[in-house]
A and B are shown apart, each in its own frame.
Chain A
Amino acid sequence: MNVVLLLIVVLPLLAIAVGLVVGRRVTQLVTGLSGIATFGLAMALIPGVGGHEIGHRVSAIGILRADSLSVVFVLATSFLYAATAIYSVGYLAAEARLAERLGGDEAAEFARYSRRFYVGMNIFAWSMLCAPLVNGLALLWVAIEITTVVSALLVAIDNTEGATEAAWKYVLIASSGLGIALLATIVMYYAGAQAMGQSYDLAFDPLIQSAHDLPATPVRLAFVLAVVGFGTKVGLFPVHTWLPDAHAEAPTPVSALLSGSLLAVSFYAILRFYQVALARLGPAFPQNVLLVFGVLSLLLAALYVIDQNDIKRLLAYSSVEHMGILAIGVSFGAPLALTGVLLHVLAHAAAKGNAFMGAGVLVRAYGTKSLTTIRGGLDRLPWSGPLFLIAILALSAFPPFGIFRSEFEIVAGGLQASRHTGAVILVALVTLAFMGLGLATTRILFHSSHPDSSTHPDDIPAHDDDGQAVDVRATRPRTTLVPPHNSNNPDTDTVLSGVAAATATSVRVTSARGLFAAHPAGARQPGERVSAAADDPNERLVDEMARTSSGRGEPSIWMVIPPVVGVLILLVLGVHPPAALVELLEHGAALLVGGAQ
C-alpha cells in the first residue's frame, strides 16, 4: 500500500515534468493518464485502508500517511483531476484548431498558454493530493499554501480584467487566511510542546494520542484560528468573499477543481484540528464553533443563490452552501451525520464538477455567463443540457443521487443527536438554495424567451468591458454597457453609446482566453474597438467553434464524457455505494467521533 501512496504523489509530478518539456498533445495525454491512474490508485486505497480495523493507516517515506479520513479527500481530488484533465482536451480544442489555422505568433501564444495551463493544473492537483496524504499539521499547511499560490496563477491565466481582479483578491485574502492558519499551527505546536517536549514534528498520531495532556486554552485558540484561517479557503462566512470571484473568472476546469476539491481539502485541514480539539476539549466547543460558521455560510449562500445573474457565481455560492452543510454535519457529532459528511465530500465533488463542466459548455455555446441571456439550453445542447440539469438536481439533493443520501444521513444524524434546531435550519436553508438553483436552471434550460433566438452562432452576444453580457440583438442601448470606471471617458461613452458599438466592442467572448488577450483591454484605444470588428479574434473563435462543433451543437465530445462518468458515480453513491466504500466512510466518521487514535 505504501507504494500506492508514493505513486499518487509522484504521478502528477511526472505530468508536470512532461508538460514543461513537450508539446500540448503529449501533455494532454499524459495529464489524462496521470489523472485516471491517480483515481485508480486512490480507489485501490479504499480496501487497503478501510478494510482493516478503525484507525488503520498506511504510511510511506516518513512523511506520507493515509487513514480512512484522508482517503476520502484523495478520492474526491483524484476523480476531479481525472475528469478535468479529460474535459480540458475539449475545452482547449477550438482555440487549438484556430491557433493551428492561423499559425505564427498566435500559435506560439497558444502553445505558451496551454503549457502554463497544463503545468499549473498538474501542480494544483498534485498539491491537493499531497495535502490529505502528508503526516502532520505543519506539512498540511505547506501543501495548502502551495494550492493557493498555484491556483491564484490559474485564476489569473485568462488575463482578462475580471481574472486579474479575482486573482488579486483571491491571493491576498486566501494568503492572509493561511497566515492565520499558520498561527493556528504554531499555537497547536505550543500546546503539543507542553506534553511532548520542545521539539517534535506535529505528526497527527502522537498529537491526538497525547491530546489529553495538552493545555486547554491554546488548543481552543488554535482550533478557532484554524477554522477562521483554513475556513478562508473553505469559503466559510464571513471570509468567503474571494470565492465567487475566483470560481467565476477561472477557466472552467480550474473552477471545477477549486470548487469540488480545493474547498474540501481545506475542510480536511479543519477536520484535523477538530480531531485534536475534540480529544482535548470534548464535543461542545468545537461543534458549536462549526455550527455557527456553518449556519451563517449556508444562510448567506442560500440568499445569494436566489438572486444571482452569473451562472458560475451561482455555482460558486452553491459551493459555499455545501461547505456550510459539511460544517453543520460535523457539528452534529453523531456517527451517522459524520458518515454523511464524508459521503457528501465525494458526492459534492462529482456533482459540482459536473455542474461546472456543464456550465462551461453552456458558456462556450452562448458566449456569456449571464443567466438572463442563456435560454433554451436543452434544445441547443443535446448532451450537456440534460447533464447540467442532472448535476443541478443532484446538487439540490434529489434522489437517487449521492447528495440525497449524504444530506439524508446528515439530517438523520442531527435528529439522532437531538440537534433538532440545527437539522431544521439545515433543511430550510437547503430548500431555499434549491429554489434559487431550480429557478435559474429552469430559465436557462427550458425557457426560450427570445422567439427570434435561433441557434445560429451569429447570435452569440458580445461582452462589454464590464463582463456583462451584451445582447447584440437588443434594439436599444443598455445602460450597463458603460463600465463604471470608464464612465468619465467621453471617448468610451461615445463608442459605447449604440448597439453597433456594442457589437463591435466584443472585447472578448467569455470562452476566449490568453491567446486572444494578447492586448489587454485596458491598453486598447477606444477607436480600435470599432474598427476591430472585422478581424476581432473572438469572432473568429466563435466562427471556429460553430464550424467545428460536433453533433447538434456540443462543442466537443471530451466535454461530455467526464460529466457522464460523474452522473454514474453520483448514481452509484446514491443508490448503492459499494460495501468497501461504506466501510471506509464509517471508519473515517469513527475517527471524528474520537473512537480511534
Chain B
Amino acid sequence: MLDVTLTHLATLGSSAAASTAPIQTGSAVASTMHVVAATGVAVVPTVFEGAANTVAVIVLLLEFMMLRTALFRAQIRLYAFQSLAVSVLAVVVAAGRDIPELYVLAVVSLLLKVIIVPRVMLRFLRDSRAEIAGSGALGVASEIILALVVAGFGFFTVGALGIQSPVLPTAALGLSFAVVLVSFVLMIVRRDVVSQAVGFFSLENGVSLASLVVAAGLPLILEVAFLFDLLVAVVVFGVLIRVHQTRSSSLSTVSLNRLRG
C-alpha cells in the first residue's frame, strides 16, 4: 500500500518538477497545463523557476515522510532536513532574483530552524523514554491517502486561482499550500504532542516556502521577526510538552479529553 502511495507521491512530485523541462510533448502535466492555459503561451521555465519548484517538491515530500515516521527523533530530523531545504530555497531565490538580503535570511533560517529548533526539541525529549509515537487516529496508509487528497486539493485550488506574475514560480506557490494542508493532517491525525508540535513547525516551513516564492522582497527585518517569533513559539511548545510529560508521564494526547461542551 505504501509503495502505491509513494508512487502517487512521486507522480505528484514529477508533475511539479516537470515544469523545469521545456514543454514540448503532449504529456504536459496538469500544473504546467495550468500555466499554459493561464498565460496562453507555453513559456519555457527558467533555471530559477525549475530550481524553486524542485525544492518545493522536496519540502512536500519531506512533509509526507514526517507523516509516516513513527520515531520522534526521526521526525525532528526530518523537520531539520525540511528546514534545510527551505534555507536552500532562500539561497536559490537570492541568486535567481538577485536579492542579496535573502542570503542573510538563509543563514538565520539555517541557524534557527536547522540547528537550534531541532536541538531544543531533542533536549526536551531527552528525559523521555518514549521513542515511538503512539498510533495515529488512522493507519499510515489511510493517512497518506488523506494527505494526498488534501495536498492535491491545495495544489490545484491555488493553481485554479490563477495568481501569477513574471517572477512567480506558480507551482511552488501551490506546493506551499499543499505543505500547509498536509501539516494540518499531521497535527490532526497524530495523537502525541511531539508530532503535533512538529506539525506546527512544518506548517511554518510551508508558510516560509510561500513567503520566499511570492514575497521575496519582504524586508529582512520582518522575515527575521517572523523567525524569532517561531523560536519563542518553539520554547513555549517545549515548555508545555515538558509540563504535559511531567503531568501524565507520557507524550500522548489521548488523555487530553476532559474539557468539552
Spell out A's residues near B (CB within 8 Å).
138-139, 141-142, 145-146, 148-149, 152-153, 156, 159, 161-162, 164-169, 171-172, 175-176, 179-180, 182-183, 186-187, 189-190, 193-194, 197-202, 215, 217-218, 221, 244-245, 248-249, 304, 307-310, 313, 466-467, 483-485, 520-523
Contacts and interface: CB of A to CB of B under 8 A. Distances in A.
B200 A176 contact: yes
Interface in B26-71: none
B214 A167 contact: no
Interface of B: 99, 161-163, 165, 167-168, 177, 180, 184, 187, 193, 196-197, 200, 203-204, 206-207, 210-211, 214-219, 222, 225-226, 229, 232-233, 236-237, 239-240, 243-244, 246-249, 253, 255-259, 261
A561 B180 CA distance: 47
Nearest to B244: A164
A161 B240 contact: no
Nearest to A246: B259
A149 B217 contact: no
A194 B229 CA distance: 27
Given A193-B215, A218-B163, A520-B247, A161 B258 contact: yes
B200 A161 contact: no
Contact of A485 (B99, B184, B236, B257): B257
Most central of B204, B214, B215, B226 by chain A CB within 10 Å: B215
Contacts of B244: 164, 168
B200 A179 contact: yes
Contacts of A483: 258
B236 A190 contact: no
A175 B233 contact: yes
B56 to A, nearest CB: 15
B215 A179 contact: no
A190 B247 contact: no
B178 to A, nearest CB: 12
Contact of B259 (A145, A148, A169, A522): A169
A145 B203 CA distance: 15
B215 A186 contact: yes
Contacts of A201: 219, 222
B85 to A, nearest CB: 18
The 5 closest A-B pairs by CB, nearest first: A198-B217, A199-B217, A190-B214, A189-B215, A245-B259
A182 B225 CA distance: 12
Given A162-B258, A171-B236, A221-B163, A189 B214 contact: yes
Given A139-B222, A485-B255, 4 more contacts: A182-B211, A198-B217, A221-B161, A522-B246
Contacts of B197: 172
Nearest to B237: A171
Most central of A145, A152, A175, A189 by chain B CB within 10 Å: A175
A198 B236 contact: no
Contacts of A244: 259, 261
Contacts of B214: 186-187, 189-190
19 contacts: A138-B218, A138-B225, A139-B222, A145-B233, A161-B247, A162-B259, A168-B253, A172-B196, A183-B207, A186-B215, A189-B215, A193-B217, A194-B165, A198-B167, A199-B217, A199-B219, A221-B163, A483-B258, A485-B257
A193 B226 CA distance: 19
A557 to B, nearest CB: 33
Contact of B240 (A145, A164, A310): A164
B200 A304 contact: no
B247 A164 contact: yes
A308 B184 CA distance: 30
Contact of B222 (A138, A168, A245, A248): A138
Contacts of B240: 152, 156, 164, 167-168, 171
A467 B243 contact: no
Contact of B258 (A187, A215, A304, A466): A466
Given A165-B258, A201-B222, A179 B180 contact: yes
A39 B217 CA distance: 38
A218 B162 CA distance: 9
A193 B218 CA distance: 9
A153 B219 contact: no
Nearest to A180: B180
B261 A308 contact: yes
B247 A153 contact: no
Nearest to B204: A179
Contacts of B236: 149, 152-153, 171
Nearest to A189: B215
Most central of B168, B200, B256, B259 by chain A CB within 10 Å: B259
Nearest to A249: B259
A520 B245 CA distance: 11
A217 B210 CA distance: 16
A485 B248 CA distance: 11
A175 B200 contact: yes
Given A153-B236, A187-B214, A168 B256 contact: yes
Contacts of A176: 184, 187, 200, 203
B131 to A, nearest CB: 21
A175 B226 CA distance: 12
Contact of B161 (A139, A175, A217, A310): A217
B218 A189 contact: yes
A175 B222 CA distance: 18
Contacts of A186: 207, 210-211, 214-215, 218
B255 to A, nearest CB: 5
Contact of B261 (A168, A175, A187, A313): A313
A304 B261 contact: yes
Contacts of A141: 226
A478 B68 CA distance: 43
A142 B225 contact: yes
Nearest to B232: A149
A161 B225 CA distance: 33
Contacts of B239: 153, 156
A200 B222 CA distance: 11
A335 to B, nearest CB: 33
Nearest to A310: B261
Contacts of B211: 182, 186
Contacts of A304: 261
Nearest to B235: A149
Contacts of A145: 229, 232-233
Nearest to B254: A485
A484 B259 CA distance: 12
B204 to A, nearest CB: 6
A138 B225 CA distance: 9
A187 B248 CA distance: 41
A541 to B, nearest CB: 21
A466 B206 CA distance: 38
A164 B243 contact: yes
B232 A165 contact: no
A179 B203 contact: yes
Given A179-B200, A186-B218, A521-B247, A172 B187 contact: yes
